[in-house]
Structure 1
Amino acid sequence: MRACRVTAFDQPPQLADTALAPPAAGEIQVAIRAGALNFADTLMCTGRYQDTPEPPFTLGLELSGKIIEIGEGVTGFQAGQRVAIYSGQGGLAEAGNFPADRCIPIPEGLGYAEAAALQIAYGTSHMALDYKARLQPGERLVVTGAAGGVGLTAVEIGKLMGAEVIAIARGADKLAIAKAAGADHLIDADSPDIREQIKALGGADVVYDAVGEPLYEACFRATNPDGRILLIGFAGGDLPKMKPNHMLVKNITAIGFYWGAYLNFNPAPLRASLATLFDWAAEGRIKPHISHRLPLDQFAEALELIRSRQATGKVVLEP
């Protein structure tokens, strides 16, 4: 089978033919129909992601496909069944073996690309806003990077949860996408007065920050007393400059959130969240926005779309 392989951190990934062994005990072998890309994939290429495996490995944190074969000891699945998988690696390939406990049946009416694209982006936003920040109806939610793969889901889920959503993104085209996802107010990321614009709207009760500096500073200064700031990622390249003395005076809580870690130390809320999201998707209440669908041999172009932030929503490779 063909797979997008990282063989060394100082070399670009390559599409290579690799052997596929039978599934081991506890594993399921899947013919991959869609692999969704994430910003983390661009970091894994150079070993800068917190969960990067040692080379050689296959890129691709999340995927969907059809079961080929069941490994020893696996119950509840059958050959031919459609599943989505948060794999951590191995998704950018034609097939692979994955732990059965990471597989989720795909409900009828949900396509492979949507099922692959739903897991990390929607899972991150739903758990962050619901389980961690306890977002309440009527609260004001500010989302940075609001047209990106993760930020766009925060806009959509925040609106579903009853919040008033302020979307921050760069340029009219991206802001239009955030508006279509449900944003109530739009702020261009290049504006010189972001703090003042948020304050004029009543300030932020919850900030969902997927960018870092320089947007973090403006959003922090516009956060209301007793507000919560979710630290989701640092796509802007610079870590937030935390001011604990100001946080103390305003009773502001900063919440670090890394979705994938819950699989290792507390998987129950993650699985409950995904069950909710798959139900919402099957009911049409959420619809993953996929801006680019490319064949596997265009993986380099797909990674560049993520790296250069040209994508709006998700980028999916379809072997």
Structure 2
Amino acid sequence: MAAVAWGRCLPRVWLRRRAGPGCGRHYRAALCAELKQPLAIEEVASRPVRPHEVRVDVHFCGVNFADILVCRGQYQEKPQLPFTPGMEFSGTVLETGTDVSTVKEGDRVIGVSGFNGMAEECIIDHKTLWQIPEGVPLREAATLPVSYVTAILALEHRACTRPGLAWEGRIVVVGFAGGTIASVPANLLLLKNVSAMGLYWGRYKEQNFPIFSRILSSALQYCQQGRIQPHIGAVFKLEEVNDAFLHVIQRKSMGKSLFGRPSVLTISLKKESMQLRVNVFIRYSRFSPALPRRLAAGEISPTHLPLLFHQLWVCPPAYTSLNNSSEVLTKG
């Protein structure tokens, strides 16, 4: 019955998001208002960033078993109600505080947010953001903080694995997703000359941040080098948050499950012999018909599109295409 409750479908209501930084800006977020009950999608008023904070436009957010536990009140950390779950996310920087110099507007980043990533935007301390290197997509980057940092911390830092390891081995306890808390017989530790140790990755962020930051940077580097290739089994829309939780609860998740943007707007630009294709995520408000003309004329660089479309929201279903010198705006 609990699984059915988590899977209850919510009305998919498109909410208008107001432009402009700080107060007066609104965004959608998944809210847990009552433990062990389905989450709701609410329009949330944004607040100004503090000097050490960064506002990030969230593109992807990981779905973790810990998110489900915290919404049931069964996790070791218990945020005050109401709260937004979501421990890891990727996106682009919208705004930085006055004391922030590590990232700038437009940078692609991943963040470790504690509990507030399942939303259209997130305000976070700049110390818990890492720039995504070239060649690593935002989607794959969102999978790294929880799963891969846990694995790398376990293998490299706690177990200290090395070639030929067999004698004096180490058992690392990383979690109990199976639902049963296992026990290690002390006599086996004695007879096999092995050690048992635990790993709670979140504590490293508080107690030994240099190690945490180094391991997360290693995960990004490994992904850039192709040494790890995250498998993404499912991508859900934000309004499908309860479906996503049920997907994990029923053990249907293969690889990593994510929340991601609902749809993609493709703008095709032709100028002389050069063809440019730019993918832009759809949002919900007004569209400026002058943008394609300015792009074709070279007045605006395509690299500025992610920033421009934070303020030029598009009401779906809509698309714009440019055929040679003519503009076409079609609305369904």
TM, length-normalised to structure 1? 0.71
Q: In structure 2, what is the equivalent of residue 46 of structure 1?
A: 72
Residue 201 of structure 2 is aligned with which of 259, 274, 295?
259
Unmatched 5+ residue regions in structure 2? 1-26, 262-332
Q: 1:13 aligned to 2:34? A: no
Residue 152 of structure 2 is aligned with which of 107, 126, 131?
126
Q: In structure 2, what is the equivalent of residue 159 of structure 1?
A: none
Q: Select the structure of larger CA radius of gyration.
A: 2
- Share of identical aligned residues, percent? 35
**Counterpart of 1:53 in structure 2: which amino acid?**
P
* CA distance in 2: counterparts of 1:76 and 1:99, whole angstroms: 11
* CA distance in 2: counterparts of 1:56 and 1:88, whole angstroms: 14
**Counterpart of 1:125 in structure 2: which amino acid?**
A
Q: 1:56 aligned to 2:97? A: no
Q: 1:38 to 1:10 in 2, by over 3 A?
A: closer
Q: In structure 1, what is the equivalent of residue 222 of structure 2?
A: 280
Q: In structure 2, what is the equivalent of residue 137 of structure 1?
A: 163
- Map 1:238-317 onto structure 2 (within 5 A): 238-317=180-259
* CA distance in 1: counterparts of 2:178 and 2:115, whole angstroms: 24
1:250 offset after TM fit, Å? Answer: 2.4
* CA distance in 1: counterparts of 2:28 and 2:251, whole angstroms: 27
**Counterpart of 1:314 in structure 2: which amino acid?**
K
**Counterpart of 2:148 in structure 1: which amino acid?**
Y
TM, length-normalised to structure 2? 0.68
Q: In structure 2, what is the equivalent of residue 155 of structure 1?
A: none
Residue 123 of structure 2 is aligned with which of 86, 94, 97?
97
1:11 offset after TM fit, Å? Answer: 2.4
* CA distance in 2: counterparts of 1:123 and 1:80, whole angstroms: 25
Q: Please give the secondary structure, in 1, of the residue aligned with 2:169.
A: strand
1:245 offset after TM fit, Å? Answer: 3.0
- Map 1:28-43 onto structure 2 (within 5 A): 28-43=54-69
1:227 offset after TM fit, Å? Answer: 2.3
Q: Please give the secondary structure, in 1, of the residue aligned with 2:227.
A: coil
* CA distance in 2: counterparts of 1:100 and 1:126, whole angstroms: 23
Residue 134 of structure 2 is aligned with which of 76, 100, 108?
108
Q: In structure 2, what is the equivalent of residue 81 of structure 1?
A: 107
* CA distance in 2: counterparts of 1:73 and 1:238, whole angstroms: 46
Q: Please give the secondary structure, in 1, of the residue aligned with 2:196.
A: strand
**Are the aligned partners of 2:36 and 2:73 in contact in 1 as well (CA < 8 Å)?**
no
**Are the aligned partners of 1:29 and 1:70 in contact in 2 as well (CA < 8 Å)?**
yes
Unmatched 5+ residue regions in structure 1? 140-204, 206-224
* CA distance in 2: counterparts of 1:114 and 1:81, whole angstroms: 16
Structure 1 stretch 101-110 or stretch 129-138: which is displaced more? 129-138
**Counterpart of 1:86 in structure 2: which amino acid?**
V
Deviations 1:62-97 (A, max 9, x none): 001111110131112111111100111111110110
**Are the aligned partners of 2:60 and 2:260 in contact in 1 as well (CA < 8 Å)?**
yes
**Counterpart of 1:256 in structure 2: which amino acid?**
G
**Counterpart of 2:245 in structure 1: which amino acid?**
L
**Are the aligned partners of 1:36 and 1:113 in contact in 2 as well (CA < 8 Å)?**
no
**Counterpart of 1:42 in structure 2: which amino acid?**
I
**Counterpart of 1:137 in structure 2: which amino acid?**
P
Query: 4+ residue runs of structure 1 moved beyond 4 angstroms?
Result: none
* RMSD, aligned α-carbons: 1.3
**Are the aligned partners of 1:123 and 1:273 in contact in 2 as well (CA < 8 Å)?**
yes
**Counterpart of 2:210 in structure 1: which amino acid?**
A
Structure 1 stretch 289-298 or stretch 5-14: which is displaced more? 5-14
Q: Please give the secondary structure, in 1, of the residue aligned with 2:168.
A: strand
Deviations 1:112-135 (A, max 9, x none): 111111111110001101100011
Q: In structure 2, what is the equivalent of residue 236 of structure 1?
A: 178
Q: Please give the secondary structure, in 2, of the residue aligned with 1:45.
A: helix
Q: Please give the secondary structure, in 2, of the residue aligned with 1:58.
A: coil
